[in-house]
Amino acid sequence: MLVPYSYRRLKRGPQVILPKDIGIIMAYSGIGKNSICVDAGTGSGWLAVSLARASKQVTSYELREDFIKIAQRNKEIEGLGNLVLKNADITKGIAEKDVDLVTLDMPNSEKALRPAYKALKPGGIAVGYLPHVEQVKKFVSSMVKLKFSNIFTIEVIVRDMLVREEGMRPSTKGVWHTAYLVFGQKEQLPEALQH
Ligand SMILES: C[S@@+](CC[C@H](N)C(=O)[O-])C[C@H]1O[C@@H](n2cnc3c(N)ncnc32)[C@H](O)[C@@H]1O
């Protein structure tokens, strides 16, 4: 499967989010050049860098200084002045306000949903990147308790095709399961204000 050069040139430490999921997170959350985003955990920063390429400001929270160094290298490779890397526990609070998107890729992501809800502006979106079904159940249940709306869960499967004269079919190789994506919105905006 094609991993574009804009990703292959980035350093990797802990497990990264791949372009197939990054694309859907960005498209379904609707972020754009005026968006303010918060991300955790930074890890290698693949998602944080992707968000920063397309939005106004990204703050990414990470517990481990050694991973921040990898993400810092990726930030420099991409020349992203709008990406702030914070050595902090996101479950303890989010300092940023009126945020359009909060992305969560870490164990116990549901523990960051309360601070995420506070930081989001009305209509803002929280997304969980969750490898296991048990995590999805906990995350959705926390979203329901916090009164997130428009909650939905998807899995992104991309199939390579073998294109040839004879026996054209999907390839048996490739990346299959990575994680489930759970989306939820802070309050629904009146229709007239939706874009
Ligand atoms: C799988 S990595 C994230 C990969 C990243 N999304 C990417 O695309 O490169 C998960 C990270 O979450 C961090 N983490 C775990 N709990 C955290 C917390 N409460 N606050 C901030 N970071 C946390 C871990 O140290 C780890 O680096």
pLDDT of residue 187: 86
Residues 6+ apart with CB under 8 A from 150: 183, 184, 185, 188
Q: Is residue 112 part of a domain?
A: yes
Whether the Cβ atoms of residue 117 and residue 146 lie closer than 8 Å to each other: yes
Task: Tell whether 195 is covered by a domain.
Answer: no
Domain of residue 22, residue span: 5-183
CA 41 to ligand 1 center in whole angstroms = 3
CATH number of the domain residue 172 falls in: 3.40.50.150
Whether 16 maps to a domain, the answer reads yes
**Alpha carbon of 108 to ligand 1 centroid (Å):** 10
**Residue 188 confidence (pLDDT):** 67
Residue of 21, 44, 103, 105 to test ligand 1 pocket, by largest number of atoms within 8 Å of CB: 105
pTM: 0.94
Distance CA 128, CA 131 (A): 10
Instruction: For residue range 113-151, list pLDDT tens digits in order.
Output: 999 999 999 999 999 999 999 999 999 999 999 999 999
How confident is the model at residue 190, as a pLDDT?
61
Count the domains in the chain: 1
The reply to whether 31 falls in a domain is yes
The pLDDT tens digits of the residues spanning 63-87 come to 999 999 999 999 999 999 999 999 9
Query: Would you say residue 142 lies in a domain?
Result: yes
Residues with CB under 6 A from ligand 1: 14-17, 40-41, 43-47, 61-64, 67, 89-91, 105-107
Q: For residue 194, what pLDDT band results from cuts at 50, 70 and 90?
A: low
Q: Which residue has the higher pLDDT, 193 or 96?
A: 96
- φ/ψ region of 22 (left if φ > 0, alpha if ψ in -120 to 50, else beta) reads alpha
Residue 194 lies in a domain: no
